[in-house]
């Protein structure tokens, strides 16, 4: 499954498929980006991060891609599982202000069995 | 167990009655911060603290105060709560002396209702 455009509130995918969640960030001065996962009734949980001097970073079953030209970030989840169902947020941190974190609106990922 | 602990988890209060939401972390983290989460508005940063005695405003600081007298605690104070402060609040911490680096650990959230 793949989200169309820069952001969709909900993405529905079949179990076992790959998921792609997109995020448009707001500030060209941002140089550090983080993806979080929030399950119902819980606090956000760190998934993966990337700095602006990189285009791609891989973790376990997840990959983050950064396109600074169009200020776009994506999170790819391989072989999506029911446990991946959650809301996913991207967040950006401005260069020179490493304490201030700006979150995107979030995308709900629904995994169909 | 490494964790960020918030109290209370749920609170219903009335307009104008001062309240404090406590936040404590046991990871010796330098950085701590508070967020509120509202439907349609996502997570917004209220205040953050890079270190003891150092605090700074996030995007929505109005109506809130914080203090960082010791490294492990970062309480959020609502001096005179109003209904528009009804929200789900999260505290978070991160290691690193220059702000957020790597993993940001969140608490379980405090759901506050102001009548």
A97: pLDDT confidence band, cut at 50, 70 and 90? low
Backbone angles phi, psi at A79, to 5 degrees: 45, 65
Smallest Cα distance from B28 to chain A, Å:
17
**Contact in structure between B22 and B75 (CB atoms under 8 Å):** yes
**Predicted confidence (pLDDT) per residue in B77-112, tens digit:** 999 999 999 999 999 999 866 667 768 899 999 999
Query: Whole-angstrom Cα distance, residue A72 to residue B3?
Result: 32
User: Is the confidence at residue B59, as pLDDT, over 50?
Assistant: yes
User: Is the confidence at residue A13, as pLDDT, over 60?
Assistant: yes
Which residue of chain A has the CA closest to B89? A43
> For position B38, what pLDDT does the model report?
93
A3: pLDDT confidence band, cut at 50, 70 and 90? very low
**Predicted confidence (pLDDT) per residue in A32-53, tens digit:** 999 999 999 899 999 999 999 9
> For position B99, what pLDDT does the model report?
65
Asked if B61 has any chain A CB less than 8 Å from its own CB, the reply is no
Which residue of chain A has the CA closest to B57? A100
User: Is the confidence at residue A108, as pLDDT, over 60?
Assistant: yes
Whether the upstream peptide bond of residue B13 has omega within 30° of 0, thus cis, is no
CA triplet A35, A41, A47: central angle to 5 degrees? 20
User: Is the confidence at residue A4, as pLDDT, over 50?
Assistant: no
Closest CA to A69 of A30, A28, A32: A28
Smallest Cα distance from A64 to chain B, Å:
14
User: Is the confidence at residue A14, as pLDDT, over 60?
Assistant: yes
**Contact in structure between B81 and B19 (CB atoms under 8 Å):** yes
A101: pLDDT confidence band, cut at 50, 70 and 90? confident
**Predicted confidence (pLDDT) per residue in B2-36, tens digit:** 899 999 999 999 999 999 999 999 999 999 999 99
């Amino acid at each position: 499954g793949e989200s169309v455009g820069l952001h969709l509130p909900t993405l529905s995918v079949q179990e076992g498929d790959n998921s792609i969640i997109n995020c448009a960030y707001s500030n060209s001065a941002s140089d550090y980006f983080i993806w979080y996962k929030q399950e119902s009734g819980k606090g956000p949980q760190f998934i993966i991060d990337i700095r602006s001097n990189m285009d791609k970073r891989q973790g376990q079953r997840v990959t983050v891609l950064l396109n600074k030209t169009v200020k776009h970030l994506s999170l790819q989840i391989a072989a999506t599982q029911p446990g991946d169902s959650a809301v996913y947020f991207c967040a950006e941190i401005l260069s020179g202000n490493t304490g201030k974190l700006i979150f995107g609106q979030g995308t709900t990922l629904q995994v169909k069995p | 167990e490494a964790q960020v602990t918030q109290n209370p988890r749920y609170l219903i209060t009335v307009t104008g009655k001062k309240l404090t939401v406590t936040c404590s972390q046991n990871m010796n983290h330098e950085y701590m911060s508070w967020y509120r989460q509202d439907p349609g508005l996502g997570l917004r940063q209220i205040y953050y603290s890079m270190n003891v005695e150092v605090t700074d405003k996030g995007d929505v600081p109005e109506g809130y105060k914080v203090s960082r007298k010791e490294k492990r605690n970062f309480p959020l104070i609502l001096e005179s709560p109003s209904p528009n402060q009804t929200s789900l609040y999260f505290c978070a911490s991160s290691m690193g002396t220059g702000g957020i680096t790597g993993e940001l650990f969140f608490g379980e959230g405090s759901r506050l209702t102001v009548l």
